[in-house]
Amino acid sequence: MRGYGSPMNPPTVLAPFDVEAVAAGPAQQLMVEGLVAGGGLERVAAIAAEHAGAPVEIFVPRPGTEGDDGTPAERYVAELVAGGDPQRPEEVHAVAPIVCAGELLGAVVMLDEGGPEASHFLRAAATASLTGIAMMNARDETARSLGASFITELMGRQDARVDDVLRRAGLLGRDLTDGLSALCAETAGEGLAALGATIEAHSPHAVMEILGGRLMALVPGPRETVRELATRLADDAAVGVSSHYRQAGDARTALEEARLLVEVGATGTAGQAFRLLFQVSEHQPDRLESFTAETIGPLLHHDAEHATELEKTLRAYVEHNCNMNVTARTTFTHRHTISNRLTRVRELTGLDPLDAEDRELLGLALKAHRVAELRRATSGT
pLDDT in tens, 289-304: 888 888 889 999 999 9
Whether residues 9 and 128 share a domain: the answer is: yes
Structural domain harbouring 318: 286-379
Whether residues 240 and 204 share a domain: the answer is: yes
Q: Would residue 347 count as lying in a domain?
A: yes
Reported as a pLDDT band with limits 50, 70 and 90, residue 4 is very low
Whether residues 235 and 132 share a domain: the answer is: no
Whether residues 171 and 300 share a domain: the answer is: no
**187 vs 182: CA distance, rounded Å:** 17
Per DSSP, the residues of 202-242 read: H-TT-EEEEETTEEEEEEES-HHHHHHHHHHHTTTSEEEEP
Give the C-alpha distances (Å, rounded to integers) separating 294 from 247, 248, 289, 301.
Answer: 33, 35, 9, 12
Buried b / exposed e over 47-73, threshold 16 CB at 10 Å, is bbbbbbbbbbbbbbbeeebebeebbeb
Q: Would residue 151 count as lying in a domain?
A: no
**Nearest of 34, 266, 198 to residue 129 by alpha carbon:** 34
Query: Based on the structure, what is the number of domains in the chain?
Result: 3
Q: Would residue 52 count as lying in a domain?
A: yes
Final residue in a domain of this structure, among 108, 140, 172: 140
Q: Would residue 222 count as lying in a domain?
A: yes
Whether residue 58 is predicted with pLDDT greater than 50 in this model: the reply is yes
Whether residues 25 and 118 share a domain: the answer is: yes
**Nearest of 76, 71, 70 to residue 94 by alpha carbon:** 76
Q: Would residue 33 count as lying in a domain?
A: yes
CB atoms within 10 A of CB 258: 29
Q: Environment class of residue 182 by beta-carbon count within 10 Å: exposed (0-12), middle (13-18) or buried (19+)?
A: buried
Final residue in a domain of this structure, among 140, 175, 195: 140
Strand bridging mode 180-186 / 238-241: antiparallel
Q: What is the spatial order of strands in the sheet that 94-100 belongs to?
A: 2-5, 56-59, 103-110, 94-100, 12-13
For residue 233, what is the domain's CATH number?
Answer: 3.30.70.1150
Question: Residue 240 forms beta bridges with which residues?
Answer: 184
Q: Would residue 269 count as lying in a domain?
A: no
Whether residues 135 and 219 share a domain: the answer is: no
Whether residues 124 and 177 share a domain: the answer is: no
Reported as a pLDDT band with limits 50, 70 and 90, residue 15 is very low
Q: Environment class of residue 190 by beta-carbon count within 10 Å: exposed (0-12), middle (13-18) or buried (19+)?
A: exposed
Q: Would residue 372 count as lying in a domain?
A: yes
Span 126-152, average pLDDT = 71
pLDDT in tens, 351-380: 999 998 898 889 888 888 887 776 665 554
pLDDT of residue 158: 57
Q: Would residue 275 count as lying in a domain?
A: no
Whether residues 241 and 300 share a domain: the answer is: no
Final residue in a domain of this structure, among 87, 115, 140: 140
Strand bridging mode 103-110 / 207-211: unpaired
pLDDT in tens, 97-121: 999 888 898 999 999 998 888 888 9
Considering only residues 288 and 16, tell me which one the structure prediction assigns the higher pLDDT. Answer: 288
Whether residues 90 and 197 share a domain: the answer is: no
What percentage of residues in the chain have a pLDDT greater than 90?
17
For residue 120, what is the domain's CATH number?
Answer: 3.30.450
pLDDT of residue 289: 81
For residue 365, what is the domain's CATH number?
Answer: 1.10.10.2840
Whether residues 167 and 131 share a domain: the answer is: no
Whether residues 195 and 84 share a domain: the answer is: no
Whether residues 133 and 172 share a domain: the answer is: no
